[in-house]
Every structure is written in structure tokens, then in C-alpha cells.
Copies of this chain bind each other. A is one copy, B any other.
Amino acid sequence: MNLKTRTLQWDGTCLRLLDQRKLPEKEEYFICRNDSDVAVGIRDMIVRGAPAIGASAAFGYYLGTKRLMMDEKLKGHELIEKMNDVKKEIGSTRPTAVNLFWALERMEKIFIKNVDNPCLLGLLEKEAYDISADDIRINKTMGKYGAELLNDGDCVLTHCNAGALATVDYGTALGVIRAAIESGKKIRVFADETRPYLQGARLTAWELMKDKIDVTVITDNMAGWVMKLGKINAVIVGADRIAANGDVANKIGTYMVAVLARKHNIPFYVAAPVSTIDIKTKCGSEIPIEERSHDEVRFCGGREITPAGVKIFNPAFDVTDNDLISAIITERGILRQPYSESIGKLFID
């Protein structure tokens, strides 16, 4: 089973992750030969973006099972016990993106059901592969729905990177932009640089330029001003977790952009697969917000920019209230207010 996208590559034995810390300077791959390598890849943000984290975690789960079965010769109860640790280790890497837990649970279901099945490893590999392949299909479907919301000639502001690099391929927010362009519309993009990790300046700019999509980078504090200058027709962002009431956790700064969009009567769209919706989380205040290393703020471009010892606050995500969101674009259609209803309907089968 082989998979080869910009973000990740699977050749049946190891997972190669495009090292997103090094973009746009270098295109290097980080090789994960076991589950610990995958945990490092997610924790250190070598791979990032909720759907890409989910797919990577799935392959990590497979690699963990393989290690325990082949190297440590475990089976039955011992295997089940140790796989709990594997799930815990991978699950502890990033607390906010729900796709991580969603993917691990999908894998665990197959594992538990087939723990004595001689085809266990094959079934797990197939599940990880399916999660990845599905992600691309889902993004393309989402793109088609979302493209309807954009007009020919629109200029779209996006924050962080919700593109091919945040998913297995194609992207959520940038997938909508790609689909609109593929449908013949002319779309330009403004990308917030997205401090501290600079996903906008480094990753969104990189992948849009590769696809010859017109992109302009601004610093995060320019978002309000470009809206005031009338340069922006719509905002589209991704999501790391969507609560049952439609509150959205996403990269720090998303909330600010949503408030600014509302002030300027610009539609604010969230594009995310249904797997990003966490129906067990009632509202945004229940979503855990990861605080990352202060060095991410202290350092920029490899150099310390703040005076030694200064206090730092570095929340990696924020929560945007559902009332600021014009629509949530999913692979099952476009959700509108009231979100508790439109989201609720998706989970009644």
C-alpha cells in the first residue's frame, strides 16, 4: 500500500513526513520508523494541521502495533495493554486538534475487533490508508461545496495554513480556494503570516505559489487594515476542533480575524471535515487550549528577539464564538446557524 502526497508518504514500512519546520527554505522529509518517531513528528510540529495530524497518528498506531507484535512478540492481553500506552503516547502530543483522538479511536476499534485475527496488521494498515485517502476525497467534496460561496474576482483572507500541508492533500480552507479556481473563478489570497510559527508566511505562501495561486503575505496585525481598505471579500480558515454548538477552536488569531470580519461585514467561513466536530464538547469553553513553549515567541528566524527573561504568553489556539461564523463548510454540505441544529443533524443516523 503506497501513498505519496506533499505532506506525507507511506511505503508500507515507514511514514515520511515533509518537515514543515524547514519550509520554505528546505524540502526535507522526516522518517518515522516507529510509533515514537510519529509522536515526535506531531509534538515538534514537523507535521501539523488537524487532518494531517489525524492521518499521521493512524500510521503511528499501525507502526506501534507492528513493533509490539514483531519486535516484542506480544499478543492477546499483553498486546492490548501495551497498545493503550501507544495510544496514550501519540494522543498526548497535541491536546486541541480533535482529529488526533478521532483517528486513534478509529484505529483502536479495528484493533480491538481483530486483535486475534492473523490479518490484524493488514487491517490496521488499510484503516490508516483509508483515513488518509478519505481525507483527500473529503477535502475535494468540501471544496466543491465551499467554492459556491466565492465569487469570481474575490480576494480571500486566510489565517495559518489550512492547506494541502495541513491535510493529507488539497486542504480545507485552501481546498475551497483551489476548487473555486478549478471551477474557473479568479481568486486572490491574502495570507496572515501567523506568528509565532509563521504557518501563513512559510507554508500557505509556499503551497499557493507552487500552484501558481496569487498570494500576498501580510503580518497578522495588518488583517484589520486590509479589510478596512476594502481589499477582502471573504475570510476562510480551518479548524482544530468544532464544538456541538458551532464554536471553533483554531490557530491563535482566528478569533481576532473573525471579530474584524464582522466589523467590516465580510463573511467568515470555517472549512473542516466532520471529523473535526467533537459532538461531546458542548461549547468552546470546554476545549483545552494548548500553551506551547515560550521560545516560539521569544525566537523568530532563529534569533532571540525579546530581552532575556521577559514573561511570555503563548496559547497556540483560540476559540471563535459561533455567532461570528457565517457558515461551516463540511464534506456533507454547508452548515448555517443555528449550528446546534445543523451540526446535530449530522450525528443522527
* A226, closest chain B residue (CB): B313
From residue A324, how far is it (CB to closest CB) to chain B in Å?
Answer: 10
Contact present for A201 and B305 (CB under 8 Å) = yes
Interface of A is mostly: mixed
CB within 8 Å for A193 and B195 given contacts A307-B209, A310-B217: yes
A121 to B309, CA, bound (A): 46
Interface residues of A in 268-309 (CB under 8 A from B): 297, 299-309
Q: Is the CB of B205 within 8 A of A315?
A: no
Task: Tell me, in angstroms, the Cα distance from A306 to B24 when the chains sit together.
Answer: 7
Closest to A289 in B: B225
Interface string of A210-251 (1 = CB under 8 A from B): 000011111111111110100000000000000000000000
- A333 CB-CB contact with B under 8 Å: no
Q: Are B301 and A218 in contact (CB under 8 A)?
A: no
Interface residues on A, range: 35 or more
Contact of A195 among B202, B220, B315 (CB under 8 A): B220
Known A24-B306, A224-B318, A256-B224; judge A216-B301 contact (CB<8 A): no
Q: Supply 5 A–B pairs (Cβ within 8 Å), ascending by A.
A: A195-B220, A205-B306, A219-B253, A222-B318, A224-B256
Give the one of A198, A216, A255, A299 with max B CB within 10 A. A255
- In the complex, the chain B residue whose C-beta lies closest to that of A221 is B253
From B190, B224, B318, give the contact of A259 (CB < 8 A). B224
Q: Establish whether residues B206 and A307, one from each chain, have CB atoms under 8 Å apart when the complex forms.
A: yes
A192 within 8 Å of B (CB atoms) = yes
